[in-house]
Amino acid sequence: MNNNSSVDQTTALESSEDMTISNEKSYEKEDLINHDTDQEEHGVYWYRWYILFQFALLSFIQTHVAGSWSPINVSAKQALNFTNRDFVLLSNWGVACLLVFLPLDMWLIVKHGMRIAVFSGAVCVLLGTGLSCLPLGMYKKYAIHVGQALNGIGGCPVLGAAPYISNTWFPLRERIFATGFMLLSGNLGGVMSYLLGPYLVEEPSNVTQANVTDNTARIRHEIEIYLLIQFGIAVALFVMMLTFFPNKPPLPPSQSAATKRLDFKAGLTTLSKNLTYWSVVAVFCGTVASFYAWSGVMPLLYTKRGISQITIGQMGAIMSGAGVLVGIGFCWFADRVKTYVSVLWVISICLAYVMCFYVVAIAMNWISVIPFIFTPVGWWVSCLSLGVLVYSVQPLGLEIASDVAYPVNEGTSNYVLMWLVMLLNVIFFSSLSRVQNQDVAFYMMLGMMSIAPPLLYFSIPKTNKRLLVDLSDD
């Protein structure tokens, strides 16, 4: 079996060399190439960071637009006649569209490469933000609903394309960092939703009937300015990607990037039989999906425990910001200890589970001794710690999924994983809507995260096939 793999890799490398040599001729500017390469047939290009920035910006603006209405819901009710039903729909459009269109985007990235798959997402964000800016009077809120649905479709590459791009453009020593930076940039967009929205759009005050019209007009104007800023960022991103966003570099950055991947159908068939991959998926979904679902209902869970909505909003912003900073640093460290990524994965998952138990224990008053008694300090420490750990786990999980799925395309393996994450979120919220006591969310999070520790052993790859291909080339 090893001999057959060697023959396949050699054949794929020879065909890849022919393709990359012909592609290289189209790049006449030799100054674009960084000649600090490991082997003659591999290349590392400085403009990979420009590709990284473009995708990170897409991740940022798409996530920001998706979460922009909740922080200004009071203002939108007065200025645009939004109702509670509107806000429920606005928050659900993204998830619904992702579940429907994520398989299509997965097929696009496997069949046609990253340019069409990612650029189409940027186009959807552009159309969505542009539609929301149209001066349609009483019909404007319907345009905003359609815009949010289009923005949700634009989130398909944001969820699953980062590992594919990092493998296509970045060498082994930078791959996890690139994945983490692109993936976690979306969380910064969520943070900015809580910071920028309330800053630009004032909250209605107790005004008299005489000046309520002026107050509403001013808030409506501020919302329009806010929407135009989002549209401006989407336009800038569209122009950048239209101008320069190639499918792949002239030469691959590593041996595994030069190896031909399985096609779409063969990849799905191979994944269905890969038990290690499904163990990674179960651990990842149990940890990440449950955390995101729980964090989405934090205001419902903690306001009755004496925590104000403003404080909960601050917690969400700080938790996301700290998770991004620590997560990116964690990814940089993981690239330096490449052969120990599985160890980092196990430690992070175990710590996340312990912290999840602590979050639930203090919220539900299971243990009546310090430090398990609910206090504001304990709440801050537990929630921040859990958030930072889960944010750090995500890039590691996607990279491990790519390693154990090889030679399945990174687009296939990670899109399937993220589709299941979104499906679990839908199940979580649907189940929660059928019960009176929202504290069930704590038990649901702990139950879903309890799936992870028993399966950790089976999620550790016995051989990191993709990693071994790259290490053998060093």
**Does 180 lie in the same domain as 115?**
yes
* Residue 375 belongs to some domain of the structure: yes
**Does 268 lie in the same domain as 248?**
no
b/e code 85-101 from CB counts within 10 Å (16+ = b): ebeeebbebbbebbeeb
| Cβ neighbours of residue 17 closer than 8 Å, sequence gap 6 or more | 41, 258
* Total domain count, the chain: 2
Q: Are the C-beta atoms of residues 190 and 292 closer than 8 Å to each other?
A: no
**Does 78 lie in the same domain as 213?**
yes
Nearest to 83 by CA among 129, 152, 142: 142
Query: The domain containing residue 277 runs over which residues?
Result: 263-474
**Does 218 lie in the same domain as 92?**
yes
Model confidence at 229, in pLDDT bands (50, 70, 90)?
A: very high
Give me the residue label for tokens 């401006």. Answer: 232
* Residue 40 belongs to some domain of the structure: no
Query: What is d(CA 474, CA 464) in angstroms, rounded to the nearest whole number?
Result: 15
**Does 335 lie in the same domain as 212?**
no
Q: 207: alpha, beta or left, given left = phi > 0 and alpha = psi -120 to 50?
A: beta
Q: What tens digit of pLDDT does each residue of 168-193 get?
A: 999 988 999 999 999 888 888 888 88
* Residue 11 belongs to some domain of the structure: no
- What is the percent of the chain where pLDDT is above 70? 88
What CATH code is carried by the domain that includes residue 120? Answer: 1.20.1250.20
**Does 389 lie in the same domain as 336?**
yes
Query: What is d(CA 345, CA 392) in angstroms, rounded to the nearest whole number?
Result: 9
Tokens, residue 266 = 């063969």
Q: How many CB atoms lie within 10 A of CB 60?
A: 22
**Does 344 lie in the same domain as 474?**
yes
**Which of 225, 253, 281 represents a domain boundary (last residue)?**
253
What is the average per-residue pLDDT within 223-242? Answer: 94
Per DSSP, helices labelled H in 25-139 are: 48-66, 73-80, 84-112, 114-132
Q: Kindly report the backbone phi and psi dihedral angles of residue 178, in degrees, each rounded to the nearest multiple of 5, phi listed first.
A: -65, -45
- What is the percent of the chain where pLDDT is above 90? 28
Query: What is d(CA 65, CA 58) in angstroms, rounded to the nearest whole number?
Result: 11
**Does 385 lie in the same domain as 339?**
yes
b/e code 175-214 from CB counts within 10 Å (16+ = b): bbbbbbbbbbbbbbbbbbbbebbbeebeeeeeeeeeeeee
**Does 242 lie in the same domain as 291?**
no
* Residue 258 belongs to some domain of the structure: no
**Which of 228, 253, 278 represents a domain boundary (last residue)?**
253
Cα torsion 335, 337, 342, 347: sign? negative
Model confidence at 473, in pLDDT bands (50, 70, 90)?
A: low
**Does 379 lie in the same domain as 287?**
yes
**Does 152 lie in the same domain as 246?**
yes
Nearest to 162 by CA among 40, 326, 327: 327
**Which of 203, 224, 253 represents a domain boundary (last residue)?**
253
Q: What tens digit of pLDDT does each residue of 36-85 get?
A: 334 448 788 899 999 999 999 999 999 999 888 877 877 888 878 888 77
CA 332 to chain centre: 18
* Residue 57 belongs to some domain of the structure: yes
**Does 285 lie in the same domain as 224?**
no
pLDDT above 90 for 93: no
Query: What is d(CA 259, CA 300) in angstroms, rounded to the nearest whole number?
Result: 49
pTM as predicted: 0.83
* Residue 130 belongs to some domain of the structure: yes
